[in-house]
């Protein structure tokens, strides 16, 4: 895939999947603006650090990326946060930060980016939803709810803005071997290496996903190879359905 002369905004750029997305876009010739709380270690053309819970930051992020890169063609709303537990074990803080990061931030970024992309003749937006938002699983009520929201928003926007030459799709991963997953195991008292080895056994393909597995699909959806896809929720699960 050739992304020469394409300008890309990636949120969650410092995370496991985000780093892979940035690296692959760069390798394919794109200019990339990296957005995250701290982007010092991200090899990107522009660094746009900030907090996705800050509405003024998210409202202005696409314009900032356009100015920094000399244009904007692709937006990847990759950032996400996971809070575990059923509703009865979920706090107001769990709810608020999950909605802010997983729903409000991509909503605001898309709302600001779509006019920019339309002005330039079109483009692509790729959102990160989750298999757990399409097929809700146990003990992740708030996470599943927010990922279902971004999945539905993707489908709505995909239909509403296709006529402007803007293709909007979502990747829906299952478990991915990222620092977030490993930290989650540690917080629950598990050895991350052992826990992931056990998790690998539950996947028909033989292992959970690596960040590159997801990043390559993101690039596909952003590319002309996916030129007839809009409003799609593409599950990446290695054959494993949600428990």
Tokens at residue 232, please?
Answer: 């799609």
Angle at 83 between CA 94 and CA 184, to 5 degrees: 140
Q: Report the catalytic residues.
A: 143
Strand partners, 168: 125
Alpha-carbon span 102 to 106, nearest angstrom: 7
Tokens of 58: 């998210």
- Name residues whose C-beta falls within 8 Å of residue 147's C-beta, 6 or more positions apart in sequence: 80, 102, 129, 130, 132, 133, 134, 172
Range list of β-strands (E), 65-165: 74-77, 123-128
Instruction: Report yes or no: 106 and 98 within 8 Å, Cβ to Cβ.
Output: no
């Amino acid at each position: 895939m050739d992304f020469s002369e394409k300008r890309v905004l990636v949120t969650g750029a410092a995370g496991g999947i985000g780093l892979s997305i940035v690296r692959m876009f760069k390798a394919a010739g794109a200019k990339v603006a990296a957005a995250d709380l701290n982007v010092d270690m991200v090899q990107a053309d522009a660094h746009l650090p900030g907090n996705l819970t800050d509405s003024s930051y998210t409202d202005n992020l696409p314009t900032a990326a356009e100015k920094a890169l000399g244009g904007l063609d692709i937006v990847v709303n990759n950032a996400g946060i996971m809070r575990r537990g059923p509703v009865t074990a979920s706090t107001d803080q769990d709810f608020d930060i999950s909605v802010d990061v997983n729903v409000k931030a991509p909503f605001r970024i898309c709302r600001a980016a779509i006019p920019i992309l339309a002005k330039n003749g079109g483009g692509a937006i790729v959102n990160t939803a989750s298999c757990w938002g399409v097929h809700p699983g146990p003990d992740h009520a708030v996470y599943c709810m927010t990922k279902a929201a971004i999945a539905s928003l993707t489908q709505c926007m995909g239909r509403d803005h296709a006529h402007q030459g803007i293709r909007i799709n979502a990747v829906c991963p299952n478990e991915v071997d990222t620092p977030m997953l490993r930290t989650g195991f540690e917080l629950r008292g598990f050895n991350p290496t052992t826990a992931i080895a056990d998790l690998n056994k539950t996947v028909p393909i033989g292992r959970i996903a690596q960040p590159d597995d997801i990043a390559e699909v993101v690039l596909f959806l952003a590319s002309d190879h996916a030129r007839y896809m809009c409003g799609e929720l593409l599950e990446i699960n290695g054959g494993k359905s949600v428990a």
